[in-house]
Structure 1
Amino acid sequence: MKISLVMATYNGAKYLNEQLDSIKNQTLKLDEVIIVDDVSTDDTSYLVEKYISNHQLNWIFIKNEKNLGYKGNFKKGLAHASGDVIFLCDQDDIWHLDKVERMVEALKNHPEIKTLASSFNFVDGQGKPFSIEQKKGYANQNLLHKDVIDEIERVDLSLVKITNFSQGCCMAVRKEEVEIFLKNTQSKYPHDWELNLIAAMQDGCYFYNVPLIDYRIHDKNTIGLDDVIHNSHKELMKNRTIKRLNYIDEEIELLNYLKRINIGYEYNKEYVENHILYSKDRKKYIKNKSFFSLIVMYLKGKYKGYGSFKTFVGDLCSIVYK
């Protein structure tokens, strides 16, 4: 089994050497390492070239002529990878030294796995560990809304469709899934999410409930803050309604994309087609302010399996404030 790794870099000089060390020192050596730099303006390219030269590594380093963005950069790296299993890697984390060995062993023992995502620990900008409060009924640092009992568990399409439960840097992907991705992707969705969706369509998306990387958090997140500061409550709710309708449109587009690629559709055909109908009805009733139609929809159990009581309440609020 040939093992590849694809790393995408962009202005990542500050933490790069620590990440590269954790790759080089793996207990199971990688057969192929491909690093693609997206026209960094700091010392990233210099540090990669110096590291490869100093350690006499046969790693492949590609420097883009123009900036492709993170989706395009990873796509380019994946197109160059030739391994049977391909690991995705960021530029600023620290891999546990047995990560590759443990995940490859799991893939060898479980041929049904098409994408495998490990768990992770948090570290700050200085590499110091920190933790967050774990929500009941969640796993993987609250990214996976599922009670996980076994060390390796399948993640259903219904969960992956809502949001990606794993960062790409925690994932190992079989070559066949990468080929499907490269053939079909329009780079609309994050590459890691799209790969998990393709695997989930075939009932082959799995979570490995063991932390195998230290995931570095080094920027403050202020997304959405301007809405709270600058908008009135009524305006904020109106904006949420617009976002809700946009989200439903994106959901329908995503489901139609999964139909179009027609990979593993036989496993999830009923779920996907019924979900499209459910989403179209939600959109229609919200746009038309059909308050009672949504109530009837909920009472008939049409939210079950595709949404929740919270989704239903949110839809009603969207009508009130629309």
Structure 2
Amino acid sequence: MRSNSGDFAISVVMPAFNAEKTIAQAIQSVLDQTYTILELIVVNDASSDNTLQIAQQFAREDVRVHVITNETNLGVSGSRNRGIALSHGDWIAFLDSDDMWQPDKIEKQCVALSNDESSVLCFTGSSFIDERGIPYGYTLKVPEQICYQELLKQNLISCSSVLAKKNVLERYPMIRDPMIHEDYVTWLRILRTIPYATGVNEPLLIYRIGRHSKSGNKIRAAKMQWRTYATAGVGKMTAVRYFAVYACRNLWKYLRIHNSMNRAI
């Protein structure tokens, strides 16, 4: 569970595709962590901009940063899976190349996992920014624990907030399918085998909402949610029941996020 020193050995996996505008902030937020027993694996997913060059510059300046490049575009799920396969840590953290962490994110998750040594999946709350980096006034709160049935109602496990046991993620790799929430399928499959995931109810993830992101297109996201249930093996009648809850909760979340931006303006 731990490294020989008693600390968590953590590998941070960052898929990156044409992320030259945001990747430097993302990488820096990893290197600024108060918890330092970590490596960062940047998986350049055949980018055509300066993503690779920016990541390589960080690698030259900090030995904890490793950069690998996919010869062809594997998508975010394939890049995450490849990063996991090449990692050295017992624990995996994910961070997308347009998101950021608060400096004490990993440290606080390690404390939570130390207090519950049976836990293999930990996640945090989130704050939100737009494409320009302007913050929304809304924060996503999360429970101290979430089980499979509760996760079916709403995916409160943001991928960029996750810290999970490597061997668990290897058993449940992310599926490459642009019409599902690939990370959500993985969390559902894991939670079918364990009682709960551990939440840290603080906005330790800074999540960037883009106009063309999955989260930014609500109709597409709803279609993806339905396909996600099917891919995760959720029965049709059960999926109908939970989809209704999902729709209400996510509409409420969407309205709160965008109302908070209007107030800020």
Q: What's 1:83 paired with?
A: 89
- Aligned-pair CA distance for 1:93: 2.0
Aligned in 2, Cα 1:251/1:125: closer, same or farther, shift over 3 Å?
Answer: closer
Between structures 1 and 2, the one with greater helix share = 1
* Correspondences of 1:27-46 after superposition (within 5 Å): 27-46=34-53
Residue 250 of structure 1: how far off its partner (Å): 5.9
In structure 2, what residue type is equivalent to 1:62? I
Q: Quick one: which amino acid aligns to residue 217 of structure 1?
A: I
- Which of residues 74, 96, 99 is equivalent to 2:80? 74
What residue identity is the alignment partner of 1:157?
Answer: Y
Distance 1:307 1:73, change over 3 A: closer
Confirm or deny that 1:118 pairs with 2:124: yes
1:122–1:6 distance in 2 versus 1, CA, 3 Å? same
Contact 1:252 1:279 in 2 (8 A): no
Using the TM superposition, give the Cα deviation of residue 28 of structure 1 relative to its aligned residue in structure 2, in angstroms: 0.8
What amino acid is the match of 1:73?
A: S
1:174 is aligned to: 165
Larger of the two Rg values belongs to structure:
1
1:97 is matched with 103
Aligned residue pairs total 233
Amino acid in the other structure paired with 2:53: Y
Partner of 2:33: 26
- Listed one character per residue, the Cα deviations across residues 26-48 of structure 1 (whole Å, up to 9, x for unaligned) are 11114322110111111000111
Q: Percentage identity across aligned positions? A: 24
Query: Is the CA contact 2:185–2:229 (under 8 Å) kept in the aligned structure 1?
Result: no
Bigger relative contact order (CA 8 A; separation at least 6): 2
Contact 1:181 1:194 in 2 (8 A): no
The corresponding residue for 1:11 is: 18
Q: 1:223 to 1:186 in 2, by over 3 A?
A: closer
Q: Over residues 9-59 of structure 1, what are the superposed CA-to-partner deviations in whole Å (9 max), with x where a residue is unaligned?
A: 001111111111111111111432211011111100011111211x24242
The answer to whether the 8 Å contact 1:8/1:74 transfers is: yes
**Would the alpha carbon gap of residues 91 and 277 (structure 1) be closer, same or farther in structure 2, given more than 3 Å must change?**
closer
- Relative to structure 1, the CA distance from residue 309 to residue 48 in structure 2 (aligned partners, 3 Å threshold; closer, same or farther) is closer
Q: How does 1:228-243 map to 2 (within 5 A)?
A: none
The 5-angstrom pairing of residues 60-71 of structure 1 reads 60-71=66-77
Name stretches of at least 5 consecutive residues in structure 1 with no aligned partner. 135-139, 226-239, 257-275, 283-302, 312-322
Structure 2: where are the runs of 5+ without partners? 3-8, 248-265
Find the counterpart in structure 1 of residue 149 from structure 2.
Answer: 158
Spell out, residue by residue over 1:141-196, the C-alpha distance to the aligned partner (whole angstroms, 9 max, x if none): 6xx6xxx4xxxx221211223442222111111123112113xx543554421332
| CA drift at 1:108 | 1.6
Instruction: State the distance in 1 between where 2:182 and 2:88 align.
Output: 18
Q: Corresponding residue for 2:196?
A: 204
CA RMSD of aligned residues (A): 3.1
CA shift, 1:205, in A, is: 1.7
Higher strand share: 2
